[in-house]
Amino acid sequence: MSFVSPTAARSHAVPPPETITGLIERVTFFNEENGFAVLKVKIKGRRDEASVVGSLPSVNAGEWLTAQGKWVQDREFGLQFRAELITSTAPTTREGIEKYLGSGLVKGIGPVYAKKLVERFGEKIFDIIENESGRLEDLEGIGPKRRRQIKDAWAEQKVIRQIMVFLHSNGVSTSRAVRIYKIYGENAIETVRANPYALAQDIHGIGFKTADQIAQKMGVPHDSVLRARAGLRHVLLEATGQGHCALPADLLKEEANKLLLVDSKVIQSALETTLLEKELAVEKVGDQTLFFLPQLKRAEEDIAERVRKLSSLPPTYPPIVLDKAIEWSQRKTGKELAPSQRAALQQALTHRALIITGGPGVGKTTLLNAILLILTAKKVRCQLCAPTGRAAKRLSEATGMEAKTIHRLLEVDPSKGGFLRNERRPLDCDLLVVDETSMLDLPLTDHLLRALPDSASLLLVGDDDQLPSVGPGMVLRNLIDSGLIPVAHLTEVFRQAANSQIITNAHRINEGLMPEKAGTVAGT
């Protein structure tokens, strides 16, 4: 049995964070989106300005900085103080005030006007701005418009500081506090006080456990219904990571009890409240009562409605003589289509939506190339996409056409977390081809169908025997089982593919047979 002495244990302990204070001489870099800043700070007792890196909602030269963190030696930038917690306060010295006002805080006030303001009003300048702003007009060059700009900028900075003090006092790190401020703005204090668990829904990077810690610090009771409601949502959100769209009532309550460690009556009361407030959705399926996150239930319903509508409409392609088109495409590619591929090609040209499925080596790519060759010759605008970058690259290489990831095709908007392409701004295509459809989850499919133009056709390609998506839902399997969309199920393994041990064994496993060893002959 080994023994670690208390002295040795202390030697390996993480040192406590160091605190520094000083005047911000200049802002070297500041990212408006996430608040990341690189600052040059004059610290008492140090001859040279120190580099401080961390996050703030806003920052200006001349402010007084207090930071907690540690000194690190960066390979590229040298010695830096890496701050985990930063607060800044309005300057109190003439030097600091002059830097602060002349830092660009107020449009139209540069170093020259900042110097004049400090010379005229001294250290009382901030009181003048807040309570007697009319006196600023005594200074030549400052009229009513510039005076209002100065007063509004000061008021905004004051609100930001109050928010940061409130969040820091409740255990929120600076980087998270910046994200909270960016989302909630000047209403951050009221919003967090009303429901700290809203942070888990609204702020990226804050989950239930972090929001729960903040709530406990604010005095929210352990057995409050507010906490239990948030816990129920968290359990359902965690379930989506395992591919589930909903959970049965009993399982939901059981998992919530494990998470919250409260009386079952509290969970039942919270469940009833979430339904009244429409925070959760419920549906009876057979003899089970299933609970959903509302956005997932809406996504399911939207997909079903759009697929139903799509499958009831004819394609909008120009007239195509099938036999001639097939002969022409075979001459162009030098590949003859098998009867099953010809039948699938006819389905693709005569239906508004089609699923092409089958295992490896059954000719899905050959069929897809024939479809695209015929339609592009008829000036049909085709767009190709796949769920991942690798799948999109393979699709592009196989077809000779540009293929994008679905996120790139839909023009993801990182700042708002959505997509720029939708029903109001649909895609520019007459046919949308989606490869590796087995990877599609429910939310992404919903966004994709929303962006499909009213007149466009849809071609889904994938292997329904592959593992389902990581996200919620089994979209390809459910669409096939629905019977709404025609399915071309290719099964014939072609000669080139039949020589592949991997492809041969993949089909044997699907048929419930043992895979063959390399070099063996089937049946021996």
pLDDT digits (tens, 9 = 90+) for 150-167: 888 888 888 888 888 888
513 pLDDT band, cuts 50/70/90, is: low
Contact 280, 233 (CB under 8 A): yes
* Closest listed residue to residue 49, CA positions, set 40, 60, 61: 40
Nearest to 383 by CA among 456, 332, 300: 456
pLDDT digits (tens, 9 = 90+) for 32-50: 878 899 999 999 878 889 9
pLDDT at 148 over 60: yes
Per-residue pLDDT at 14:
63
Query: If pLDDT is split at 50, 70 and 90, which confidence band does 498 have?
Result: very low
CATH 3.40.50.300 residue ranges for the chain = 311-508
Give 386's strand partners.
405
The fold of 225-292 is Arc Repressor Mutant, subunit A (1.10.10)
pLDDT at 499: 44
- The C-alpha atoms of residue 25 and residue 103 are separated, in whole angstroms, by 10
Confidence band of 10 (pLDDT split at 50, 70, 90): very low
Phi, psi of 55 (to 5 degrees): -125, 135
Which pLDDT score is estimated for 4? 41
What confidence tier does 437 reach under pLDDT thresholds 50, 70, 90? Answer: very high
Which residue ranges does the chain devote to CATH 1.10.10.10? Answer: 225-292
Q: What is the pLDDT of residues 333-388, one digit of tens each?
A: 888 899 999 999 999 999 999 999 998 878 899 999 999 999 999 999 999 999 99
Q: What is the CATH code for 311-508?
A: 3.40.50.300
Tell me how far apart the alpha carbons of residues 396 and 381 are, in angstroms, rounded to a whole number: 16
Per 3-state DSSP, the chain is made up of helix, strand and coil in percentages (nearest 5) of 50, 20, 35
Per-residue pLDDT of 252-306, as tens digits, reads 999 999 999 999 999 999 999 999 999 999 999 888 999 999 999 999 999 999 9
Read off the pLDDT of residues 475-492 as tens digits, 9 standing for 90 and up: 999 999 999 999 999 987
- Give, in degrees to the nearest 5, the angle at Cα 117 between 113 and 121: 175
pTM assigned to the model: 0.74
